[in-house]
Amino acid sequence: MLLFVIIVLAIFMVASTLYQIKYFQKYLNKYDKFNLLPNYSFFAPKPYANDFRLVYKLNEGSDSNWEELDMYKEFGLKRILWNPFKYYNKGMIDICQYLIQEQHVLKDKDLLKSSAHHMNIILSIYRFLKDRNIEAEAVKFAIVTSEGCKDLKIKSLVFCSNFQNI
């Protein structure tokens, strides 16, 4: 029985390894009825060429500048093993994508203010300001796309909200 288990696992290991090669995938798919063979993809076939940036402006009527909400952290060796910020980062990127999708779907744009995604961004900005002891009566935010890391280039404005009391 032990020999049988070892043989089955060896066959599975060889099949899993061969399944990573496109030529063998077509052949092995015929025998993999339950989709047990893993398909590892370490790199996306078409990675994002740009990133979202979330910028905000405080207090309607004032001459405040647009400031960036901290969504990305500098890369360090510690991040390989310990990176709790990645969940916040992923969540913020997803919220931005969902808000942009809602913007395209909704006919009445005023409904976006009551969207859970819009509220999450407002609450994130509020918490960001509160952590830094910055007082504000109202906030306006925008989602922009950018290229580059060190030499940041803003590509386009994707979404811009109205001022909202906080």
Whether 14 and 84 map to the same domain: the answer is: no
pLDDT band at 83 (very low <50, low <70, confident <90, very high): confident
Location of structure tokens 């001022």: 163
Whether 130 and 161 map to the same domain: the answer is: yes
Higher pLDDT, residue 52 or 83: 52
- Write out the residue range of the structural domain in which residue 107 sits: 51-165
Q: Residue 110 has what DSSP assignment?
A: G
Token pair belonging to 101: 């999708």
Mean residue pLDDT of the chain comes to 84
Whether 33 and 89 map to the same domain: the answer is: no
Res 48 pLDDT > 60:
no
Whether 68 and 140 map to the same domain: the answer is: yes
| pLDDT at residue number 91 | 86
Query: Across 40-54, 73-87, 118-132, which has the greatest mean pLDDT?
Result: 118-132
Whether 161 and 82 map to the same domain: the answer is: yes
Gap between the Cα atoms of 116 and 98, Å rounded: 10
pLDDT band at 4 (very low <50, low <70, confident <90, very high): very high
Gap between the Cα atoms of 64 and 56, Å rounded: 10
Q: Domain count of the chain?
A: 2
Paired residues of 58 in beta bridges: 139
| pLDDT at residue number 73 | 67
